[in-house]
Structure 1
Amino acid sequence: MKRAYLIAAAALASALAVTAHADTLAKVAADGKVVFAYRESSVPFSYLAGPGKPIGFAVDITSAVLAEIKKQTGKTDLEVGWQAVTSANRIPLLVNGTIDLECGSTTNNSARGKDVAFAINHFYTGTRLLVKKSAGIKDWADLKGKKVAITTGTTNMQVARRYSEEKGLGLDIIATKDHADAALLVETGRADAFAMDDILLYGLKANAKDAAALDVVGEALQVEPYGCMLRKDDPKFKALVDGVITGMMKSGEFTKLYDKWFLKPIPPRNQAIGLPMSKELQDNIRQPSDKPAT
């Protein structure tokens, strides 16, 4: 009984320490290790180029953050861990201390801001549709009563459900584990569309086996910003991450990184997404902001 009590007390103390979010930099320095999150199929932000090899726009931002962490902690030999996350588990794994930073394709909104903090916004996107060209679907109205795949744990699920109710579309929503699973449902004809952030749809299309057979269509529902997630109430670490991203924006490195991942051919199929920088992102480079979507 005493041993069980001690174990429970230790677990509670550990949870409280993480919840307090006193100082991620101090935690990293003490552990000699930092753990970053990555996504397996959020092209071109964070995805796998091979087993255990995450690459992408957000992964490059993470690497820049790592360099600054080493500089500020004086730990040049930090052990770096990479943890795969999904839309459903990314916030819990950050809050409980399993990961220290998540840079991917996560929408910065006020609801999530109750549990986590966000760095400077690094992208803006809206919910659109990935479809087969042969399906003849051009907009949301063409999906009335049809099957629409959406990744579990995303804001797109809420946006699409609300839109379906408002317009009386009666969408038959299929929840999937990740973006690749949803895209596969469309490619194999088991779903009529995949509703997701348009940039992720462009990325999946560019890397599909038959990219010419797919199209990104429909009105963009609710333009939202992406931001790197970190634990709440940790001003030192937020200042570090914000400083890195703002510095990249001011130096021109951010624009070079954007060109690399959005305008030039990218792995694994060496296809270019071909998406010019949006006005919202251009404005955010001139005046960096971490303002959330409502």
Structure 2
Amino acid sequence: MRKVLIAATIAFAAMGAAAQADGTLDKIKSSGIITQGVRESSGLAYTLGNGVYTGYHYDVCQNIIADIKKKLGVEKLDIRYQPVTSQNRVPLVQNGTVDLECGSTTNNKARGRDVDFATTVYIEEIKIAVKANSNIGKLEDLNGKTIATTTGTTSVQTLRKNKRGKDLKFNEVFGKDHADSFLLLQSGRADAFVMDASILAANIARAQNPKEYKILPEVLAVEPIAIMIRKNDPEFKKAVDESIAAQIKAGTIAKLYDKWFMQPIPPNNVTLNMPASDATKEAWANPNDKPTEDYKQPGE
């Protein structure tokens, strides 16, 4: 009996090891399902309601999924959408719930200990949104004010690291997601909303009266925003990076950028008017997955 138990234990352990050895591509092929992490109110991916998602990073990921389907040679691949937040996005990638997290996540070394990032296709600028009739026109004007940001994001940390912002005294309030943070600004519970410029612009575009808000021109920091995938799965990362490289080479990425940042977008058909920055164009010209820490920051 003891020998049977030992044999069973060894077999079970071997099965577990084999399961762990299976990568994301194997999982997707065997299940016929790929799970895309999506955002409700991000600048690069958001919902139109009723389970419909859209946005720049969303479209990039749809193209990646189409390429993965071809690579696997399967006739059908079901896409499941898993809404994620700033707080739970990393754990949901880590535990296998999400295969591709297609929101607006900054690639930094701290997150890189838990997940891997695909090739960067967008370099974000951290900026400040305020009411258009406010007396806030520059970073120093935030002294003594209340600043909104989203739980689980790095924007206020970035502000504090800025040489001109480290001595500012201000109160912080946190939204559970970006829409909630913008509501803090809308309602007057915050004087400013510090966040990715694309997120600020997208939330202003969806506001009832976009002209009531403005984004200050000052750039607090630049950050590479990238698609998250599970750590230590080189085969899957290679497939994702190859798709992104092909999209860049074909000009698809540039066309998607024009679609989402220079043309009217749903639901209000407002144009964000955010031409691709030099840093974003450089990321397209020289594809890489460098973290924020490798980028020169404003004022350095």
State the TM-score, normalizing by the size of structure 1: 0.90
- Count of aligned positions: 280
* Partner-residue secondary structure (3-state), 2:267: coil
Equivalent positions of 1:203-222 (< 5 A) are 203-217=202-216, 219-222=218-221
Answer with 1 or 2: which has the greater Rg: 2
Runs of 4+ more than 2 Å apart? 16-22, 160-168
Equivalent positions of 1:137-286 (< 5 A) are 137-163=136-162, 167-217=166-216, 219-286=218-285
2:84 aligned with 1:85, yes or no? yes
CA 135–51 in structure 1, closer or farther in 2 if over 3 Å, else same:
same
2:41 aligned with 1:33, yes or no? no
In 2, Cα distance between equivalents of 1:143 and 1:135: 11
CA 165–256 in structure 1, closer or farther in 2 if over 3 Å, else same:
closer
In 2, Cα distance between equivalents of 1:175 and 1:163: 20
> What is the one-letter code of the residue matched to 1:40?
E
* Partner-residue secondary structure (3-state), 1:112: helix
User: CA offset at residue 131 of structure 1?
Assistant: 0.5
CA 189–17 in structure 1, closer or farther in 2 if over 3 Å, else same:
farther
- The superposition leaves residues 48-102 of structure 1 with CA deviations (integer Å, 9 ceiling, x where unpaired) of 1122100011111111111112112222222211000001100000000111110
> What is the one-letter code of the residue matched to 1:28?
I
Unaligned runs of 5+ in 2: 1-8, 294-300
Identity of aligned residues (%): 43
User: CA offset at residue 22 of structure 1?
Assistant: 4.5
Equivalent positions of 1:87-166 (< 5 A) are 87-163=86-162
CA 117–229 in structure 1, closer or farther in 2 if over 3 Å, else same:
same
In 1, Cα distance between equivalents of 2:161 and 2:60: 33
* Partner-residue secondary structure (3-state), 1:196: strand
RMSD: 2.1
In 2, Cα distance between equivalents of 1:292 and 1:28: 28
CA 30–161 in structure 1, closer or farther in 2 if over 3 Å, else same:
same
Unaligned runs of 5+ in 1: 1-8
8 Å contact from structure 1 (residues 19, 95) kept in 2: no
User: CA offset at residue 163 of structure 1?
Assistant: 4.4
User: CA offset at residue 242 of structure 1?
Assistant: 0.7
